[in-house]
Chain A
Amino acid sequence: MAFSFLDYQLDVGFGGKIVQRAGVVGDIHITDKAIIEASNGNSDKAMEEANKIGGSKAAFAPDFGMIYHLDGIHNLSPKIALSVQNIGGLDFGKVGKVPMAINTGIATESELQGFDIILAADYHDLLDGHKLASDGNTLTERNFKLGLEVGWNRLFNGHHLFSFRLGRDGPYNSQGFSLNLFGFKLDLAKYSKEVGGYAGEQEDKRWSFQLGLLF
């Protein structure tokens, strides 16, 4: 649900989600059945046993986001955004918690010779709810994202007929492009995620491909 105020200078959006989580968060002894089944390669059985220790629980949390457009700077149209995800946190009891995260970012949108150019910089989890920053720090490189998108021929749905993207997620680069043709949206991206304890420790390279229908 989204609304615009102040002659489209302020966009505000709300959302909500219910998440069901199963499993366990905590210490499990080596003699627990879940571990034994997992060691034997019975993953379904292992999950069943783990659920008996932990359980399965649903939690609800709303999200909120806003964008303020600084429309006085010509052909950059800068905007500042703030979003709050999982307001109050998602509490699954024995199955763990997903903390609230506050994210912020700035972006510009320019037109150059018929191409739309978007530049963006975001910082995720300002309050370090996910505890990804090292001790004594509140910020971490892995939560810092940069992006560039060059789009050609904007369509009725706000997407471009063709877009090319470059990005940086923490210490890793990413690339991708989109095509919107004949009612289909095709996205292809190559990116990396940090799966180690700190930025740059362990890179997990991934590819993503999406095919969607446009209405």
Chain B
Amino acid sequence: MRKIDLFQILSILLILIIGGCTTQGRLTYLTFESSENLLELKSSMEELKIEGYEGSTQQQFSALKEVRYITKHMDARPGDAVRRELAVSALVFLAFASDDGDVRDRSLSRLETLLEDEEDWPLYLQMSTVDSLADLVIGHLGFKEKHDGQWMNFGIRSSHREDALEVLLDSFMSQNEELQYHTVGALERILSVEPLLETCPFNICDEDVRKNLEEWQEGREQKRVLPANADPDAVESGAYGPESKRVPIDEKQEWHEELDELKQMAWKALEDWLEDSEVSLLNKSRIVRWAAKVQNFSMLPEMEESFQETMARWAENEDIPSNIRQLLKASQKRVTLYGVPAKKDPEPPSSSFMRIWMLSPEFIETHLDAFLQQQIGRQKSGLLLGQPRPDQILNADFEDSPEGRVRREIILDLLHDALGRGLVMEKNDVLEKLGASMEGAETISELAGLVRVTDVIFPSVLERNWNPQPLLEALVRGAEASEQIQRKHLFLKALNAGKEQFPEQVSLAMSSINIDLLTRQTFELSTLNSSETL
């Protein structure tokens, strides 16, 4: 009897020991196999990232093995696209943050294959890889830990960010045109980012710095130091300055400088892309048009100056196509003439803007923003807009040529910005036409441009008290008809953008779409935000 008791106790202990040894990689895989709950999947992947970062070699290899498997082979069930995207994000983290060289190499190898091999990997997963790399560079990707009740992002050092940016930049020339378009968008996101406390690398901002948002924003309090023989009356009268003052904290300055260096790294790579004949005119045009946005890149003055100098060199570089250099000059001229956003009325008369979508990209780039800004002013004053109305510009027929695509991109970008500043559409048939354009969009880049506009059009629809149904129906039809996952996601993002203004209609439209549970949860739990690459 005693023997049996001892045997049973030992068996239970053995089971407990063995059961407790299961690696996080295996646990995450099992969760991914069985769960249809997005939050559960995300939480399990976060656990895996922590083990992949600072776990034992056994744990790190198990994590690597499972994320490599999920990214490549978990594709049979509905919702597996979401699972694969989560795994890609973890893989990007492991590729730079794991302390095991083999784990880093094998993760990186998978990322490079993903970015460069368009035959074996779907576009949505390639784009997800680009997004995750950009997130890591910016500082959004890491592992989350709670300190004193506050969630903080850890695991990514400054050097990891540089490495990730290098991988993204190096892969560019091997990417297909659609992915290059997405990468250019991701780079713009990196260039526009501000040095925030939440994205500050943990080797610069430790736990104590992160807890103190007030010091980050307003500076550290520095007491006035008075000389021993200070005259009390002079002190009283303020001759020695205020009793204390706020000085910017060193960590903020350091993070700003580091972020500027990352941006400079990206900026230096662009000239080669502009010279390369294999990069499309559309992608080149997007890059040179950043000339008008440099001032919004939140950089220190010296770095901004350095960017301007680089662009001055581009303008004279004869290896860059002349139409691209003309567009670059047009962007610079736009800043000089009007500022960004425009603060003055357009120089050309209103009649010059008739059929603006047929004019040269340089004219559109230079003057359209000022024209739209003038229309915003007229709308606010209750004046008639005249021609062309914003909806006419949005629904214009663009020539299907490389130059036509550039015109379209500039117009959609500037309309997006103007709608964000309060431009309101004039005629409600714009919704039906916009929906039709989206359904008819042939490429992902074409659709992405329209989705960006849709993202900001709903406030305008609400202000006019229009029925959003024609647009929502088109978006539902577009999502249903899309076989390509990335295309479907874009329609869903566009639909989701109206959630704030039309919660019931959007919710109803969303529920009518035949999509898997995980994709539905992804969109229900998130709102389209400006930090997303489209």
Contact = CB atoms under 8 A, between A and B. Distances in A.
B73 A71 contact: yes
A57 to B, nearest CB: 41
A177 to B, nearest CB: 18
Given A7-B110, A71-B68, A77-B65, A153 B58 contact: yes
Contacts of A8: 106, 109
A72 B73 contact: yes
B22 A113 contact: yes
Contacts of A155: 57
A111 interface: yes
Contacts of B22: 113-114
B100 interface: yes
Nearest to B74: A74
A6 B459 CA distance: 49
Interface in B1-53: 18-23, 25-26, 29
Contacts of B62: 111
A74 B110 contact: no
B56 interface: yes
Contact of B29 (A7, A74, A153): A74
Contacts of B26: 75, 111
Contacts of B113: 7
B69 interface: yes
Nearest to B73: A72
A113 to B, nearest CB: 4
A166 B68 CA distance: 30
A8 B69 CA distance: 13
A72 B75 CA distance: 11
A154 interface: yes
A111 B23 contact: yes
A114 B110 contact: no
Contacts of A75: 26, 29
Given A7-B113, A154-B57, A114 B68 contact: no
Contacts, number: 46
Contacts of A72: 72-73
A215 interface: no
Nearest to A116: B58
Interface string A74-88: 110100000000000
Contacts of B491: none
Contacts of B56: 153-154
Nearest to B25: A111
A3 interface: no
Nearest to B109: A7
Contacts of B100: 156
B143 interface: no
A74 B18 contact: no
A113 B57 contact: no
A131 to B, nearest CB: 41
A62 to B, nearest CB: 26
B21 A114 contact: yes
B61 interface: yes
Given A7-B113, A74-B73, A115 B21 contact: yes
Given A8-B106, A153-B58, A113 B18 contact: yes
Contact of B72 (A4, A71, A116): A71
Given A7-B110, A113-B21, A114-B22, A156 B73 contact: no
B18 A114 contact: yes
A155 B59 CA distance: 10
A114 B23 contact: yes
Interface in A52-83: 71-72, 74-75, 77
B80 to A, nearest CB: 13
Nearest to A6: B113
Interface string A103-142: 0000000010111100000000000000000000000000
A144 B22 CA distance: 33
A74 B20 CA distance: 21
Contact of B69 (A71, A116, A152): A71
B346 to A, nearest CB: 53
A75 B23 CA distance: 13
A92 B58 CA distance: 46
A117 to B, nearest CB: 13
A74 B67 CA distance: 11
Nearest to B62: A111
A152 B110 CA distance: 27
B109 A154 contact: no
Contacts of B57: 154-156
Contacts of A156: 57, 100
Interface string A147-181: 00000111110000000000000000000000000
Interface of B: 18-23, 25-26, 29, 56-58, 61-62, 65, 68-69, 72-73, 100, 106, 109-110, 113
21 contacts: A4-B109, A7-B109, A7-B113, A71-B72, A71-B73, A74-B29, A74-B69, A74-B73, A75-B26, A75-B29, A111-B62, A111-B65, A113-B19, A113-B22, A114-B20, A116-B58, A152-B21, A154-B57, A154-B61, A155-B57, A156-B57
Interface of A: 4, 7-8, 71-72, 74-75, 77, 111, 113-116, 152-156
Sort A-B residue pairs by CB-CB distance and give the 6 closest, nearest first: A114-B21, A154-B58, A7-B113, A113-B18, A72-B73, A156-B57
Given A114-B58, A154-B57, A154-B61, 5 more contacts: A111-B23, A113-B18, A153-B56, A154-B58, A156-B57
